[in-house]
Amino acid sequence: MVTIDDYQGQVTAWCPGCGDFGILQALKKALVNLKLEPHQVLIVSGIGQASKLPHYMRCNTFNGLHGRILPVATGAKVANQELVVIGVGGDGDNYGEGGNHFLHAIRRNIDITLLVHNNKVYGLTKGQASPTSDPAFVTKVQPGGVVSSSFNPLSLAISQDAGFVSRGWSGDIDHLSWLIKQAIQHKGFSLVDTLQPCVTFNKKNTYRWYKERVYKLAEEYDPTDRLAAFERAQEWGDRIPIGIFYRKQKPTFEDQLAGLKKGPLFRQKLDPSQLKPLLETLS
Amino acid sequence: MSVDLTLKIGGEAGQGMQTIGYVLSKTLARGGFHLFANQDYMSRIRGGHNFFQIRVKEEPVYALSEEVDILIALDKATVKIHRPELKEKGVIIFDGEQIDISPKKPHLLSVPLERLAREEGGNKLFSNSVAVGAALGVLDYRFDILAQVLKEVFGRRGEETVQNNVKAARAGYDFTRENYKDSQVSPLQSGKGNKKMLISGNEALSLGAMAAGCKFMAAYPMTPSTGIITYLAGKAREFGLVAEQAEDEIAAINMAIGASFAGVRAMVATSGGGFSLMVEALGLVGMTETPLVIIEAQRPGPSTGLPTRTAQADLEFVLHASQGEFPRAIFAPATAEDAFWSVVKAFNLAEKYQVPVIIMSDQHLADSYSTCHKFDLRKVKIERGIISDTELTKIKDYKRHRFTPSGISPRAFPSQKGRIVITDSDEHDEDGHLTEDLEMGKKMVQKRLKKIEALATEIEPPQVYPHENAQIILIGWGSTYGALREAVDILIDQGVDVSLMHFQEIWPFPTQLVTSILSKAKQSFCVENNATGQLARIIRAETGRKVTGKILKFDGRPFSSQYIIKELKKKKG
Ligand SMILES: Cc1ncc(C[n+]2csc(CCOP(=O)(O)OP(=O)(O)O)c2C)c(N)n1
Ligand code: SF4
Ligand SMILES: [Mg+2]
């Protein structure tokens, strides 16, 4: 029986009180809940405070470049569908540096889960604005406040008909862990954008700020209604919904790749003699 | 007299020069000839001026000639542009009913291509087949070989299309045999030599990857590398591989890295612009010690440059690309046949040493067709450098980046029970966890660089032809081989004491051999398709020796032996 202890990792280097702790706990809980063992799981992360997460647990880890989580995760999943592949990173990683990959991961609908620690700031580089920073958010690089509008990952994902679009809150570990479990179980690309206070660099979107606003989508909420989901994804301000906004079962990337019909790539025998008939046609 | 025949087909983009060229090439190769064929095209879909050139010999040939025997002109511009290249006894085939070429001059052979196509095939679309037939008629070549090739090339479009093409070709063939009896072009008697493969550089690179067991390839289309993903995508189902068109080159290389980390042989192919985007991830390969094969098909730069032309101007860039220091190998195949074997070896080295291996191709190699003997697949050895499961079970505490005397750590894949695999783009410890322990960082740099020692012993030293003791050494790398070798043959015939030193594997640099050869020669000349002599600089840096001179060409076109000889004579004094 797999337990939380099996996922015990290195000593953390996050600031005390950081929202990342809640996400780490929720993720471990979800994996244990799914009875997944560490060797069955691959976490691909980028660079940032969030992306350090896999070192603080114990499972297969590819801690790659800033912004390049999704391509690495895609390649790994195509090579081995038996792995549960989870992408972990920050809002800068996924919506800034790697924004293009986010669009295309949705289009491919590869069966991976993307867990975004959305602290609406660049933590590791000490407090610059991120694509999700609220307008007028003041930083040392944006001393007059952010002028660009805030990127809304949920409405983008819904607009592109992503198969699983959700928002979690690091302050509610049980709910977040449930969300992550649902996301992993969903076949196809799943987004879990998670509200995460950065206690050091984001003095606006604090625990208190979120606690006053966050609410769970009601039981009656129908996540298959795309227009309603889109509308709900616009809600931000006094009230901030969390939960599964939208879900839709679609064929996955792997299911449709002709090259995988013979089975997972990594299990295939390498046999040069297979090429013989092909060489015949060239002469 | 031995055969040395050049056919050239010219016209606007969209007129189908490539198909004519391919059919002609295949037909001539079938007859037992060696050939080298290359297309020269503009970066546009319609209009402009493009041509396809085929050089036919009885012995292996890897370069073009500047002189033409048979010119098939599909438009007026072709006649104007290429008439000066025509040999004294050459001939220009054109459709005098469609294009008016006056004044009438010798060499002109008007064949009613369109009319015959309509009469025999029922559509003017078949005029290209008439042209092929006409050219082979001039050569008195065996028609049945052409008919068979047409059947294979057009077979997919149905029996009627095949028959119409054959009829059209026959009409062209008969026409020139009847109306050009006084042809001075020597006839081509086929039948010598055994069956050969006709293959382009891009096809050879793709086949090499498939033979080596490459299961994942990602790319973003970029001339002249696009042929590789196109080829592999077409074989995906049959051979169980994935060729994915990524959203950009950054995604392409990161996907391939992910696939390789998860246990499959993976590759990317691109040109200089795309490689520029891949550079950060090249460092990721170095840092995480994830095997990867990269094909960099060069074209003139900087920036977008000349998309459909050739160059060898990315060598120093590829050699130095990425921040930090880590081992890499760089290959530069000389011919399509070499290209096949270089990919096979690249995969083995990449996995054995857990390093990136970069294959420098270029437009000239990528798009040129040449004949070669069928690859002996029994010679394809696959060495994956992965520790077996039994070995793994003996390791209690698996560490992906464990220190070893060779610097090569045990490579295992994620998903096997009893171990987990961790790696990081940050400096890391033996486990693969990120570290800021500077002592550890230093040891890791050393560990990675240590791999160069054994890697260097795997590098094939430059080929020296015909011998090491010539007074003059011509030095080249990659696709210039054919022109260089031919130049050396001609020069030796003329009494010049010259040899060729040609690199097909450039890095780790074979310093010893190069130093010894250069120390014996009186004069040495680097021959490169770039403007500054990049290999010359590398030689200087690695051996301390300066070459006597450089023969450079950076007009987007490949070398010919004639050009090299002319330049050498000016420079050697
Ligand atoms: C190519 C590249 N550019 C910039 C950086 C510097 N950098 C590291 S993390 C980061 C942003 C981190 O923000 P986010 O992804 O939101 O993660 P957080 O630290 O907030 O969790 C930046 C700009 C880098 N490592 N690589
Ligand atoms: S800087 Fe912010 S995001 Fe990073 S650990 Fe500290 S609180 Fe968390
Ligand atoms: Mg952030």
What ligand 1 atom has the least distance to the C-alpha of B280?
1
CA B35 to chain centroid, in Å, comes to 15
Q: CB burial class (10 A; 0-12, 13-18, 19+) of residue B39?
A: buried
What ligand 1 atom has the least distance to the C-alpha of A118?
16
Among residues B360, B379, B398, the one where a domain terminates is B379
- Both tokens assigned to B358: 């970069």
Please give the average per-residue pLDDT across B262-284, as a whole number: 98
Domain membership flag for residue B264: yes
pLDDT over 80 at A91, yes or no: yes
CATH of the domain at B513: 3.40.50.920
Same domain, B157 and B11: yes
Amino acid at A61: T
Q: Which of residues 3-62 of B touch A (CB under 8 A)?
A: 29
Residue B1 pLDDT level (bands cut at 50, 70, 90):
low
- Is this complex scored with an ipTM above 0.95? yes
Mean pLDDT computed over every residue of chain B: 95
**pLDDT (tens digit, 9 = 90+) per residue, A46-81?**
999 999 999 999 999 999 999 999 999 999 999 999
**pLDDT (tens digit, 9 = 90+) per residue, B517-531?**
999 999 999 999 999
pLDDT over 70 at B388, yes or no: yes
In the prediction, which pLDDT does B386 show?
Answer: 84
pLDDT over 80 at A85, yes or no: yes
**pLDDT (tens digit, 9 = 90+) per residue, B46-68?**
888 999 999 999 999 989 999 99
Residue B192 pLDDT level (bands cut at 50, 70, 90):
low
CA distance A115 to chain B (A): 18
C-beta atoms of A65 and B284 within 8 A = yes
CA distance A42 to chain B (A): 7
Tell me the chain B residues in contact with residue A275 when contact means C-beta distances shorter than 8 Å: 207, 210-211, 375, 377
Q: For residues B524 and B547, what is the distance between their CA atoms, to the nearest angstrom? A: 5
Same domain, B375 and B394: no
Domain membership of residue B247 as a residue range:
199-379
SS3 B159: helix
Same domain, B355 and B415: no
Same domain, B467 and B428: no
Cβ-based neighbour number of residue A266 at 10 Å: 22
In the prediction, which pLDDT does B560 show?
Answer: 95
**pLDDT (tens digit, 9 = 90+) per residue, B12-39?**
988 888 888 999 999 999 999 999 999 8
In the prediction, which pLDDT does A283 show?
Answer: 83
In the prediction, which pLDDT does B185 show?
Answer: 83
pLDDT over 60 at B109, yes or no: yes
The tally of domains found in chain B comes to 4
Distance A174 CA to ligand 3 centre (A): 22
Q: For residues A202 and B505, what is the distance between their CA atoms, to the nearest angstrom? A: 53
A37 to chain B: closest CA residue: B417
Q: Which of B239, B260, B262 is nearest residue A274 as measured by Cβ atoms? A: B239
Q: For residues B568 and B550, what is the distance between their CA atoms, to the nearest angstrom? A: 9
In the prediction, which pLDDT does B100 show?
Answer: 87
Same domain, B263 and B249: yes
Residue B142 pLDDT level (bands cut at 50, 70, 90):
very high
Distance A154 CA to ligand 3 centre (A): 16
DSSP state, residue B181: T
C-beta atoms of A272 and B199 within 8 A = no
Please give the average per-residue pLDDT across B298-307, as a whole number: 97
Same domain, B93 and B123: yes
Same domain, B157 and B51: yes
SS3 B552: strand
Residue B45 pLDDT level (bands cut at 50, 70, 90):
confident
pLDDT over 70 at A211, yes or no: yes
User: Considering chain B, what percentage of its residues have pLDDT values greater than 90?
Assistant: 86
Mean pLDDT computed over every residue of chain A: 97
Among residues B457, B484, B503, the one where a domain terminates is B457
CATH of the domain at B59: 3.40.920.10
Residue B42 pLDDT level (bands cut at 50, 70, 90):
confident
Provide residues with CB under 6 Å of ligand 1.
A 47-50, 66, 89-93, 117, 119, 121-125, 130
Listed range (A97-101, B101-105, B388-392) with the worst mean pLDDT: B101-105
Same domain, B368 and B393: no
In the prediction, which pLDDT does B223 show?
Answer: 97
Q: For residues A166 and A160, what is the distance between their CA atoms, to the nearest angstrom? A: 14
Q: Which of residues 65-124 of A touch B (CB under 8 A)?
A: 65, 68, 70-80, 82-83, 100-101, 103-104
Same domain, B289 and B418: no
Listed range (A249-263, B181-195, B496-510) with the worst mean pLDDT: B181-195
Matching residue, tokens 């490169």 = B528
Same domain, B153 and B297: no
CA distance A207 to chain B (A): 29
pTM (predicted TM-score): 0.97
- Both tokens assigned to A130: 């991120």
**pLDDT (tens digit, 9 = 90+) per residue, B345-384?**
999 999 999 999 999 999 999 999 999 999 999 999 999 9
- Spatial neighbors of B252 by CB under 8 A, at least 6 apart, are A71, B218, B219, B220, B244, B246, B268, B270, B274, B278
pLDDT over 90 at B102, yes or no: no
Same domain, B25 and B151: yes
**pLDDT (tens digit, 9 = 90+) per residue, B438-490?**
999 999 999 999 999 999 999 999 999 999 999 999 999 999 999 999 999 99
Around ion ligand 3, residues with a beta carbon closer than 5 Å are A 90-91, 119
Domain membership flag for residue B366: yes
Q: For residues B262 and B495, what is the distance between their CA atoms, to the nearest angstrom? A: 58
Residue A200 pLDDT level (bands cut at 50, 70, 90):
very high
Whether B244 and chain A come into contact, CB under 8 Å, resolves to yes
Q: Which of B251, B377, B426 is nearest residue A63 as measured by Cβ atoms? A: B426
**pLDDT (tens digit, 9 = 90+) per residue, B393-408?**
888 899 999 999 999 9
Q: Which of A38, A64, A79 is nearest residue B216 as measured by Cβ atoms? A: A79
Please give the average per-residue pLDDT across A87-102, as a whole number: 98
Nearest residue (by CA) to ligand 2, atom 2, is: A198
pLDDT over 70 at B193, yes or no: no
Domain membership flag for residue B417: yes
Same domain, B8 and B155: yes
Q: For residues A191 and A153, what is the distance between their CA atoms, to the nearest angstrom? A: 9
B380 to chain A: closest CA residue: A272
CATH of the domain at B337: 3.40.50.970
SS3 B329: strand
pLDDT over 80 at B215, yes or no: yes
Task: Classify domain A4-280 at the CATH superfamily level.
Answer: Thiamin diphosphate (ThDP)-binding fold, Pyr/PP domains (3.40.50.970)
For residue A78, give the nearest of B216, B88, B377 by alpha carbon: B216
Q: CB burial class (10 A; 0-12, 13-18, 19+) of residue B544?
A: exposed
Please give the average per-residue pLDDT across B108-137, as a whole number: 94
In the prediction, which pLDDT does B191 show?
Answer: 63
Residue B213 pLDDT level (bands cut at 50, 70, 90):
very high
Handedness of CA B52, B57, B58, B62 (dihedral sign): negative
